[in-house]
Amino acid sequence: MDTWTGSTRVTYRRWSNPEPGDEGDFVGHTDEDQASDNEICTIASAKVDSDSRESANSSRKNTETFTVDEALEAIGFGVFQWKLSLLTGLAWIGDAMEMMILSVLGPQLHCEWRLPSYQVALITSVVFIGMGLSSSAWGNVADKYGRKVGLTVCMCWALYYGLLSAFSPFYGWLLVLRGLVGFGIGGAPQSVTLYSEFLPVKARGICIMLIAAFWAIGTVFEVLLALWVMPTLGWRWLLGLSAIPLAIFVSFCFWLPESPRFDVLSGKREKAIATLTRVARENGKQMPRGTLIEYKQSERGQFKDLFSHQYWKTTLLLWFIWFANAFCYYGIVLLTTELFQAGESCETTQGAKIEPRCSLECKYLTSDDYKDLLWTTLAEFPGLLIILFAVDYLGRKKSMAICFFMFFLCILPLFACIGRIALTIFIFISRAFISGGYQVVFVYTPEVFPTEIRALAMGTSSAVARIGALITPFVAQVMLRSSVYLTLSVYCGCSLLAGIASLILPIETLGRGLQESSLDQEAVEHTTNITTSQPNGTTHSTDQ
């Protein structure tokens, strides 16, 4: 037939390299028959005859489309991502320093203000309480108003109250201000959310692991700063100087772009294109040709979406994994000090009980104490290097499981009578693996959730982790006084269950692009069903 009369509506799926005739299977079907608006392009034509086929093919080429994922893959990793690494890394360093300072501040105030032990412990607890209360709130802000907005506001908050806490006149004010600092740094994980949304697939695992190395750098830097400042200037100067990384971040936050994934989901396609063009220019690459596909969604950051049929199992398992990571990580840090201070004899460290010390006993930290703390902190670097290679070869799930199982195996020898050197070695290895596992979950969580709830997922997961960090002092310090064996059993059981939870996660995200919307997952499932149920035993390619 040389000519078609009447109006014809031709609908085709987006292909990276369309072949002539591929659209034949879709002729006569409407948008609703095939997929949602963000997955297809439609051309309406009237009275198309054989003489105009060439112009129709030309029009089809002009309507070529691409996604944010495809744009980032074409642009690749370059100068822009290195700059973003440094800036978001400053937020991570600031977070680590504000947390590490708690191990130095407690003993100092215990002596200077004559605080009982429970009040010293409360200084640490209020920070975790503030972080637990704010983490999901900052995630909701980042999903509704933007990653840049959420991260900048929370860092400004932490900087302001961090500096104010250096001027605390007495214990009550310090408690309130440090709690407010915790409320601010509860949004620090959003730096990973923002950073991950600018990374191509192949570079994402290694890059997020490297950005997590800034945490280890921050902890080491805080110990060195304390070693320099505390003997001469005191704890107030330490609190003030520890806020320097946050101050640098706030000074340069104007450079931060908004995530193009967030802009596309918010209906700001032109702004997303401008951001991608900027990234391409700084990396010296070309933008893909065509039109950017828009995934507009008005409702974002909905808590109920975490428990939709696609994600409820992943959400619950990840919450427990985050909880176990924080519980075991901060637990081994506290156990290190407790077991070393208890003495070297088997009767003291391995007996049923550890005798409590006087709650008002005062002991300032010495230079040797700071050096021991520094050596313990350095354990995070080898663990990070090992996981850095495992995460892209074994996958995210197996890497997390290995870290938990190795932590479990390194805690087991502590049940036996071992000397101080062996105790130090096993604690060093266990901390290396649990810190490495903590970084893997930061890689996995942004990858498994779509853009519309990614920040909320990070925020709620971080909040659950803070619950683990809040509980662990009562196990590592209080329960330890009653029974060493019971305390170690709790950590062994928790790590073992978390390793199993890592293996049964429904999705492995290695080599998987970031989802823009939950519609992507539904479309994949729908397409898979169509592919497996073609008549006459035939199948058709349904790549998206």
Domain positions in the chain: 64-297, 302-345+365-517
190-205 b/e (C-beta count within 10 Å ≥ 16 → b): bbbbbbbbbbbbeebb
Count other Cβ atoms within 10 Å, centred on residue 175: 18
Longest dimension (CA), the chain: 99
Topology of 302-345+365-517 in CATH?
Answer: Growth Hormone; Chain: A; (1.20.1250)
pLDDT value of residue 111:
77
Cα(231)–Cα(427) distance, integer angstroms: 28
Residue 139 near residue 446, CB atoms below 8 Å: no
Cα(328)–Cα(336) distance, integer angstroms: 12
219-254 b/e (C-beta count within 10 Å ≥ 16 → b): bbbbbebbbebbeeeebeebbbbbbbbbbbbbeebe
Continuous segment of H or E residues that includes residue 132? helix 117-145
pLDDT value of residue 327:
92
- Which of the following CATH numbers is that of domain 64-297: 1.25.10.10, 1.20.1250.20, 3.40.50.880, 1.10.30.50? 1.20.1250.20
Region class of 262: left (phi > 0), else alpha (psi between -120 and 50), else beta: alpha
Closest among 72, 23, 92 to 248, alpha carbons compared: 92
Cα(415)–Cα(350) distance, integer angstroms: 7
Cα(20)–Cα(18) distance, integer angstroms: 7
Cα(229)–Cα(248) distance, integer angstroms: 20
Strand partners, 3: 49
Strand partners, 46: 7
Cα(135)–Cα(496) distance, integer angstroms: 26
Continuous segment of H or E residues that includes residue 407? helix 396-411
409 SS3 class: helix
39-74 b/e (C-beta count within 10 Å ≥ 16 → b): bbbeeeeeebeeeeeeeeeeebeeebbbbbbbbbeb
Along the 544 residues of the chain, how does pLDDT read in single tens digits?
A: 444 434 434 333 444 444 444 444 434 443 334 333 333 333 333 333 444 444 444 444 456 787 888 888 888 888 998 999 999 899 889 888 888 787 778 778 877 888 776 777 788 788 888 888 888 788 888 888 888 888 999 999 999 999 999 998 888 899 999 999 999 988 888 888 888 888 887 777 778 777 778 888 888 888 889 888 888 888 899 999 999 999 999 999 889 888 888 888 888 888 888 888 899 999 888 888 878 776 655 555 577 888 888 889 999 999 999 999 999 988 887 777 667 655 544 444 444 445 444 444 566 666 766 776 777 778 778 877 877 778 878 888 999 999 999 999 999 988 876 777 787 788 888 888 998 888 888 888 888 888 778 888 888 888 898 888 888 877 887 787 778 889 889 999 999 999 999 999 998 888 776 676 655 555 444 443 433 344 444 434 333 3
State the DSSP string of 233-254.
T-HHHHHHHTTHHHHHHHHHGG
Residue 544 near residue 524, CB atoms below 8 Å: yes
Q: Which residue has tokens 């994402």?
A: 204
Write down the pTM of the prediction.
0.68
Return the amino acid letter for 94. Answer: G
Strand partners, 10: 43
**Are domains 64-297 and 302-345+365-517 of this chain identical in fold?**
yes
Residue 506 near residue 313, CB atoms below 8 Å: yes
Cα(526)–Cα(510) distance, integer angstroms: 22
Q: Which residue has tokens 């105030």?
A: 109
Cα(525)–Cα(173) distance, integer angstroms: 55
